[in-house]
Chains A and B, each alone.
Chain A
Amino acid sequence: MILKEETSDGSTKGEDAEDNDAYRIFAAIAYAVVLIVIGLPLWWKTTDVYRVSLPYSRIAALDSLDVTLGMNISISTIDPARGGRLVADLKDIFKTSKLFQLTFLALPLEKKDLASVHSPEDLENASLQPRKPGELLLLEVPGLSRFTANHVLAGLKRTVYFSSETTAVKLSEVLESWLLQEKSLRQTVAAMTAPTETDQDRSGRRRMPTAAEYDIMITVVNPEPEKLHLNWDLPQAVQDYLEPLLQELSLLAAYAVKSQWLYFVTLNVQPKLVTETSGSGYQHYALAEDILPQIITPLEKKLASHVSRNPCLNFIVYIPPCEAAPLHIYRRQGMRVKGGVDAFLSPRWGGIVIHNPSSLICHNTSVPEPKEYSPDTAAIMGIFLAQLRLLMGIPELKEISRVGQLPLSTVSLRQWEFDALLRVRTLEQLTSAKLTLQSLSQLLGEISNIVINDAVGSSIYRAVNCVEHAADLLKTGQLDQAFNESKEAFLSAEAAFTDPSLLALLYFPDDQKYAVYIPLFLPVMIPVILSLKSIHAWLFGRMNFKTKLKED
């Protein structure tokens, strides 16, 4: 209500009232401007979550990333025509390969290169061995029958020797199941991408999971140390036999080797006594294959590291006391393993060797207790090395008729085996990085207020770049660099996924956000919004008045 009063200067109170109106409206406009124009954007900006922008489209495109392995295979024959025919046949056989892009080249071969060859080892030292990881050479050796009864012989480096009668089909069989192992690679990738549909194959189930570092723990179990004393320099044995192989595998991962001795620990199973009369010749104890898992279970309590988080390979030597020796393992069918090896391994865990003390020492009653015994280091380490090869991912090869391999003379891998291992690990790491990145991008995209800090963002970018780069390198056949890139991708993706800041509990559901802010803002905003109407009315009223004045 505007009261009309007489004022001293004669102007009507109506004008004052208008001025008061104007001041009121200006005040209301000021409130509206401060709250809506300045306050709302300021509040939005200060309460938004710090998120580094991520390459969502590139990560989605990784799904259709074309991962093929390019490889150069050279074929050398005496007769260039035969070489050309072999190249054409093999190209035809392998053109349906989904994972490999094989390029076959025919190289000419001089007979004089093979003139001074007296044994397969001489061939190995010849200069025509391919040096680049991932390449292969198929070399025809006329007169291979002088050295071996097989038609095809896989060498120790990157060469396969074949005789003049070998067909392209035989060569393709050797390539497919020994050297390339495409089926195993495809099954590995499929088992990682769709685990409910495909399982890993036998060698994949046995292979240790991908990691940057592995622990190897060697344990010697002596249940009765007061009766049998073991004279064994274990650190020296490790250095002599294990270190060379680990040195070769150091490109794949780092290894930390530890050893321990356990005393007064028994097997916790009862082996059966087999007497001399039952046909095997001497009295011994028998362990059935079915109870072997129960040996591992109580031993595991004493083996785990309480500090290290790396996957651990456990190698155990069990030396039975003289009263319980010799102890042999019997298969389910009732026979012993040919060759006298009493050892078994558990996939992704390690292996156990039962090493019996020699009967001379045990039956020698003139020696006082504790009897001294030096275990056969070469035999035990040989079994550990065989188990280590299987556990690290070098599969046992299917038998093909008339195809053999050159035996290993030193503790090392065949170079083509190492290449195959590089291939499977590269594919594993690439697939794992891809799956991790896709899962992470889905999570971060869906929950719009998880904080993505700089470290996580840079890890994700690095992982995506490395995955794409590794796929390019694989296509051009540069296997070792592709492996390094894929390892970097795998480690970056893991670091991004397991970053503890992703659980910062800053993400409340939307209804909780409304519940906090509405009681703060609503009481302030209601008068402002309601007064907008009167502001609008006053402004238009003034403008109409002004235009009316103008028109007048």
Chain B
Amino acid sequence: MANRIINMLLILLLLLVSSISTIRRSVPENFARAGHTNNWAVLVDTSRFWFNYRHVANVLSIYRSVKRLGIPDSQIILMVADDMACNPRNPRPATVFNNANQHINVYGDDVEVDYRGYEVTVENFVRLLTGRSPPGTPRSKQLLTDEGSNVLVYLTGHGGDGFLKFQDSEEVTSQELADAVEQMWQKRRYHEIFFMIDTCQAASLYEKFYSPNILSVASSLVGEDSLSHHVDPAIGVYIIDRYTYYALDFLERVEPDSTKTMGEFLAVCPKRVCISTVGVRKDLFSRDPHKVLITDFFGSLRPVELTVSGLNVTAIPRTQNRTRRSQKEREVPDRKLQYAKQFPTFIFES
């Protein structure tokens, strides 16, 4: 009898072990079930003046990560409120560093800033999100997302309880932000949004959201301040904020084919290094963050289907078309074209 029980227990154990291994093998299927088709990023730095260098470094570092992981510039909206690289007070002109050892110049050669300087206003930000831009707005300043787009929104600057300060003169409230995102949802302009906010009392900005499919992370809770990380004595200002520093530490180890999850990213800055508590809001997000790939928001991997066959088109007879083409080739332009003179001296020669 005891033997039988032991046998049964062993069989159960074996079944359990084999079922666990099958579960582990089937997790990649869940990863492949993402319903989005493209990725966009909206990266906003809202503060100006030289002593807010760290906010520009924050946003440029996230820009660099997102670009490295594959989102093209045509799908990134970068808003930088002040020019640090060419600031007269910058001892290293044309560079922006996010680390005192100055290894990476996050400004780079190919940065494309879409909204710069005084164009970063609350009105432009809300117009960008809701799509109500005036006619004549260039394509690079518009958020042309559709219902399959995953959007990463990163805001950094000075904030308070329920607001984010723009340019030291105006502010956007959390209610306005929630309403703008709801207008996006009504027009089905996103599939999922990932909100990252690195300001003081950042959690108050995501409290008022009421649209579905939003995952939010904030660098500090209401009542706490987000602190900056370290000073670069050569430049003379604080270079980067704590939360973004540790977030970048994580992202620098992510490659475009990585299988790291958003759950790991949400746990990235524990209180002992960040001093403020990282706040997360998951109730509006339908999937489990531990089963969501980080490249769903930070990278751009499009889903792919193999084509099985082409249409069987017979070759079109080219006789009449060929004469038309060769006639075009025989056309010679009737005047010689040349470059315009660099310095038109002929104006002064009379």
Contact = CB atoms under 8 A, between A and B. Distances in A.
A443 interface: yes
A386 B311 contact: yes
B133 interface: yes
Given A341-B310, A347-B37, A503 B127 contact: yes
A216 interface: no
Interface string B285-319: 01000000000000111111111111111111010
Contact of A347 (B140, B142, B305): B305
B108 interface: no
B144 interface: yes
Interface in A240-293: 240-241, 289, 291-293
A347 B308 CA distance: 15
Given A236-B321, A344-B306, A503-B126, A297 B70 contact: yes
B301 A344 contact: no
B213 interface: yes
A498 B37 CA distance: 24
B132 A305 contact: no
B339 to A, nearest CB: 24
Given A298-B70, A301-B72, A381-B313, A346 B307 contact: no
A78 interface: no
B149 to A, nearest CB: 10
A106 to B, nearest CB: 36
B92 to A, nearest CB: 28
Interface in B44-89: 70, 72-75
Interface string B108-140: 000000000000000100110011111100111
Contacts of B146: 209, 311, 348
B313 A378 contact: yes
A349 interface: yes
A387 B144 CA distance: 23
A179 B45 CA distance: 53
A534 to B, nearest CB: 47
Interface string B180-191: 000100111000
B310 A349 contact: no
Interface in A366-393: 377-379, 381-387, 389
Interface in B20-41: 35, 37-38
A339 B37 contact: no
B131 A344 contact: no
A192 interface: yes
B162 interface: no
A49 B302 CA distance: 47
Contacts of A379: 310
Contacts of A35: none
Contact of B304 (A233, A293, A301): A293
A307 interface: yes
A229 B75 CA distance: 33
Given A297-B70, A377-B315, A439-B187, A196 B307 contact: no
Interface stretch (A109-117, A405-413, A469-477): A405-413
Contacts of B132: 497-500, 502-503
A95 interface: no
Contacts of A378: 313-315
A409 B72 contact: no
A236 B325 contact: yes
Query: Which secondary structure dominates where chain B touches chain A?
Result: loop
A464 B87 CA distance: 53
A348 B310 contact: no
B213 A196 contact: yes
B257 interface: yes
Interface string A312-348: 0000000000000000010100000111010111111
Interface string A429-440: 000000110010
A337 B308 contact: yes
A499 to B, nearest CB: 7
Nearest to A376: B315
B313 A443 contact: no
B256 interface: yes
Contacts of A240: 316, 318, 321
A195 B303 contact: no
Contacts of B314: 378, 409
Contact of A436 (B70, B127, B187, B213): B187
Contacts of A385: 310-311, 313
A421 interface: no
B142 A309 contact: yes
30 contacts: A205-B148, A240-B318, A241-B316, A292-B304, A293-B302, A297-B256, A306-B138, A307-B138, A309-B142, A311-B146, A331-B306, A341-B308, A343-B306, A343-B307, A343-B310, A346-B37, A346-B303, A346-B305, A349-B38, A381-B313, A382-B312, A387-B307, A408-B311, A411-B311, A436-B186, A497-B187, A498-B133, A500-B132, A503-B123, A503-B132
Interface of A: 192, 195-196, 199, 205-206, 209, 233, 236, 239-241, 289, 291-294, 296-298, 300-301, 304-309, 311, 329, 331, 337-339, 341, 343-349, 351, 353, 377-379, 381-387, 389, 407-409, 411, 435-436, 439, 443, 497-500, 502-503, 505
Given A195-B147, A386-B309, A386-B311, 10 more contacts: A205-B148, A241-B316, A293-B303, A294-B301, A296-B304, A300-B70, A300-B72, A300-B74, A347-B148, A497-B187
Interface of B: 35, 37-38, 70, 72-75, 123, 126-127, 130-135, 138-140, 142, 144, 146-148, 183, 186-188, 212-213, 256-257, 286, 299-316, 318, 321, 325
